[in-house]
Amino acid sequence: MSKYQIILFKIVKLLIIIVIVDMTLGIAAQKLFYTQKTGKYARSTYAIDKTDAEILVFGSSHAHRHYVPEVLENKLHSSVYNAGAEGQQLLYHLGLQKMILKRIKPKTIILNIDEDFLFQSNIAYDRLHDLYPYYVTHKDVLRPIFAVNNRFVDIKMLFKSYLFNSTIIHMTRYYVSPQIDHKGYRPLHGTVNKNYKDLNPYSVDQKNTIDNNLVLALEEFILNAKSNNIQLVFVTSPKLIKTNYQNNKSFHLINQMANAQNIPVLNFFNDDRFINNFELFHDPSHLNDKGASYFTELVSDKILLLKK
Amino acid sequence: MYFNSFDFLIFLPVTFSLYWFLDKRKIVLQNILLLAASYIFYGWWDWRFLSLIALSTVVDYVVGLKIYKANSQKHKKRWLLCSVFFNLGLLAFFKYCNFFIDLWIELCNAIGIRNGNFTLLRIILPVGISFYTFQTMSYTIDVYREKLKPTKDFIAFAAFVSFFPQLVAGPIERATHLLPQFLNKRSFSQGSISLGFKLIIIGFFLKLVIADRAAIYVNAVYNNVEQHDGLSFIFATILFAFQIYGDFAGYSLIAIGTAKFFGFDLMTNFRRPYFAASIHEFWNRWHISLSTWFRDYLYIPLGGNRVGKFRWFFNLFVTFLISGLWHGANWTFVLWGAINGCYLIIEVLLNSKKRKGILNIVCTFCLICFSWIFFRANTVSEAFLIIKKIFLQPGKLYIGMGDDIAAPFYAVLAIFVLIGFEIWREYIGSVKQITEKTEISRMLAYSLLVFLILYIGVFGDSQFIYFQF
């Protein structure tokens, strides 16, 4: 063998060993991943693989922390699962929705809208890695989403260890200290300090630009619901401080899209029952358990009215 | 193009295959390929700044020949000054222009005179400018000092200036070491290529697992100075010490490993710096290519230590002050350099350059960490606020929120792996001894490292810190 053939042979041998190590340890990581009982991955796995709820809630932390499934169930007489995920944005919600819809067809989907959902943000893409572990079983629906700004997705996803990247500490953490949830909902406790000074109306930076990928993601989210005859409801969560959304391009576009598709928008921005009501908030942007229960009741009542 | 991008993962094997395909033909073809590959590598980031590298190459190539041919010392010196002014001029304009304009405006305001309508310019800092200008300057200075004959082979010289593995963040090579390698035939060595693989894998571990993980916590704390307490700053500063080491030593290892693929030998840039038992020793182990550059082309020409004590201290201080400024046009870097200069002067005064033992290692590490506060802080006032909080307001340790909570755990875990590995290398043996037993065990060890990189590394196309210098 020539020196070139020897080195080529060695490179191939190293690659084979890397693949074997990756497969072996990757399978172990996968097994561990699916044994989780609590925590964010356990909740998304449950939503994807197990829930048969008739009403599903999607959205960021505002969905996860604001919608109490038991309140919705009592009012609407339907089973509910809160599939909200902290820090996540539209691409994640779309991926999750598509995976769930492969298995079940809920009657209603509530999408909690953050007013800046359509603005360009690296977070929307970076945090998609929370869905990587499901690539093996849901490649058909996840690949187009991951490929939006990831040119080498097919190569990266070949490695099992990459699919389960960064999951081990979360797993260990929730084994040691389980993170209890109530059908996906985790309450926040405590109230905002009444001395909270910054009570000027909150408004979004006008320099923000719309990300067309996110617009397409919302369109697809709507289309998925429509084509499966699922009632879709958009809701905006209340805030402690007044929100100046008059010039918010993202929120306006979301409203336009909703109107065009006859999707009801339940807007709780600047709702007098919540503005400056310190007792209902954990922080200026998140309701505490008491606030969440109250808010969920109001949402349930409005959905009941929609059905009439 | 970044080393930690998938573009590079395609670029490297393609260049490697073409390069050794040309092995049987001529060195000049290999050099042309390396030159083209280097320009593609750099142009991937911003092709406009290729003109600066090309200009720097032409100027120093011509100056090198002119110095050699000049028949008087006076003429040689003139040509040398041409090269020095040209290279420092590039640096001054692209890196320090706004810094000095800002300084001028503040000075005018302070003494109450009109500043003549000076405004800051919109200048993009070309990646790697501090590295390649220093490298080409070393060529003309060495030709002037008659340590090196200038080359007439323009292609080889251009490939030396722009050699892609070390173009944007070093190691800053000396022409006496690297240029001859472009002029002579490189041999395809199996040992060299497999060593290259190992260095690249270790480099990626340092960068993606240690540096980028630590960065998540460090950025969260250092970018919100008001909101955090002293304990968090102590932890963040220790993490930053490993972040910058992982980032820069990682880059250097990837550069050295990549160069090995092409049969080149680059200088070692880091030698387990946190095992230094004195500041003097630390600077013999940290960013060796830059430290020795400043030693040979600034400190020694200033007189080094072969002068009176006061002048010696002045030389030390000025060298570190300029080294600080080299890192960035910000007072934080200048202060960082000044602190290190002061450390060295105090060490000389205390006659404690040759200390040993674990206690001295810990003390040195603490002193270096203290100086890192200035290196990492966004402004000088923030640096002082951080120090104040560390000493007067320990408070609670921030452990992160949401996803960020896991970052310091991964980083600390990886740092322990690194420390264990470095203890082995420092006190017990070499990398070879760890993995030399059988080929399979060697490959298994590196496959495990690859697994760890993929399993707990950060994959966000993050930049290397030293790119900004």
pLDDT in tens, B226-269: 888 899 999 999 999 999 999 999 999 999 999 999 999 999 99
Q: Which of the given ranges, A12-16, A65-69, B99-103, B428-432, has the highest pLDDT on average?
A: A65-69
Q: Evaluate the omega torsion of the peptide bond into residue B171 and state whether it is cis, within 30 degrees of 0.
A: yes
- Residue B56 sits in the same domain as residue B159: yes
Rounded CA separation B184/B349 (Å): 47
User: For B309-326, what is the mean pLDDT?
Assistant: 93
Tell me if chain A has a CB within 8 Å of the CB of B21. Answer: no
A46 or B465: which leads in pLDDT: A46
A1 at B interface, C-beta within 8 A: no
Choose, from B75, B280, B287, B327, the residue flagged as catalytic: B327
Q: Are A243 and A115 within 8 A, CB to CB? A: yes
**Three-state SS letters, A207-268:** CCCECHHHHHHHHHHHHHHHHCCCEEEEEECCCCCCEECCCCHHHHHHHHHHHHCCCCEEEC
CB contact under 8 A, A162 and B459: yes
Verify that B272 and B221 share a domain, yes or no.
yes
Partners of B456 on chain A (C-beta within 8 Å) are: 165-166, 168
Whether B308 maps to a domain, the answer reads no
For residue B282, which of B200, B371, B202 has the smallest C-alpha distance?
Answer: B371
B280 classed as catalytic? no
- Does residue B39 sit within a domain? yes
Q: How far is CA B70 from CA B74, B85, B143, B157, B213, in A?
A: 9, 19, 12, 20, 54
CA distance A161 to chain B (A): 5
Amino acid at A75: K
Of B162, B186, B210, the position where a domain reaches its end is: B186
Judged by DSSP in three states, B328 sits in coil
In a domain, B311, yes or no: no
What local confidence, expressed as pLDDT, does residue A201 receive?
Answer: 60
A22 vs B contacts (CB less than 8 Å): 447, 450-451, 454
Q: Phi, psi at residue B265, to the nearest 5°?
A: -115, 115
Third-level CATH fold of A36-307: Rossmann fold (3.40.50)
In a domain, B65, yes or no: yes
pLDDT at A221 (0 to 100): 96
* A287 secondary structure, DSSP code: E
Among candidate residues B179, B184, B185, the one with its CA nearest the CA of residue B163:
B179
Same-domain pairing of B133 and B249: no
Question: A21 in contact with B at a CB cutoff of 8 Å?
Answer: yes
- What confidence category does residue A198 fall into, taking pLDDT thresholds of 50, 70 and 90? low
pLDDT band of residue B390 (cuts 50, 70, 90) is very high
Residue A203 pLDDT greater than 80, yes or no: no
CB atoms B446 and A21 under 8 Å = no
Q: Which of B6, B455, B458 sits opposite A155 (nearest CB)?
A: B6
Nearest to A14 among B188, B443, B456 (CB): B443
Q: Which residues of B touch A166 (CB under 8 A)?
A: 403, 406, 410, 455-456, 458
Mark yes or no for CB contact A14/B446 under 8 Å.
yes
Q: How far is A280 from chain B (nearest CA, A)?
A: 22
Of B147, B171, B186, which one is at a domain's C-terminal end? Answer: B186
Band of residue B319 on the pLDDT scale cut at 50, 70, 90: very high
Token pair in block for residue B265 = 């030998």
Question: Alpha-carbon distance B350 to A187, whole Å?
Answer: 60
Q: Which of residues 172-201 of A touch B (CB under 8 A)?
A: 173
Q: Residue A202's closest CA among A234, A241, A254?
A: A241
* The model's pTM: 0.83
Which residue ranges make up each domain of chain A? 1-35, 36-307
Do B70 and B217 fall into the same domain? no
* Residues of A whose CB is below 8 A from B405: 173
CA distance A128 to chain B (A): 11
| Same domain, yes or no: B151 and B251 | no
Residue A192: pLDDT band with limits 50, 70, 90: confident
Confidence tier at A227 by pLDDT (50, 70, 90): very high
Q: Which residues of B touch A87 (CB under 8 A)?
A: 402-403
**Is the per-residue pLDDT at B30 higher than 60?**
yes
Domain assignment present for B316:
no
Closest alpha carbon within chain B to A173:
B406
Last residue of a domain, one of B165, B186, B207: B186
The domain in which residue B26 lies consists of: 6-186
What average pLDDT does chain B have?
88
Nearest to B50 by CA among B60, B41, B63: B41
Residue B468 has pLDDT above 60, yes or no: no
Q: What is the pLDDT of residue B308?
A: 87
A137-159 pLDDT, tens digit each: 999 999 999 998 877 788 888 88
Question: B402 at the A interface (CB within 8 A)?
Answer: yes
Question: What pairing do the DSSP bridges indicate for beta strands A286-287 and A281-283?
Answer: antiparallel
A-chain CB neighbours of B193 within 8 Å are 7
Q: Which residues contact residue B136 at a Cβ distance below 8 angstroms, ignoring those fewer than 6 apart?
A: B56, B57, B60, B83, B87, B161
pLDDT value at B384 more than 60: yes
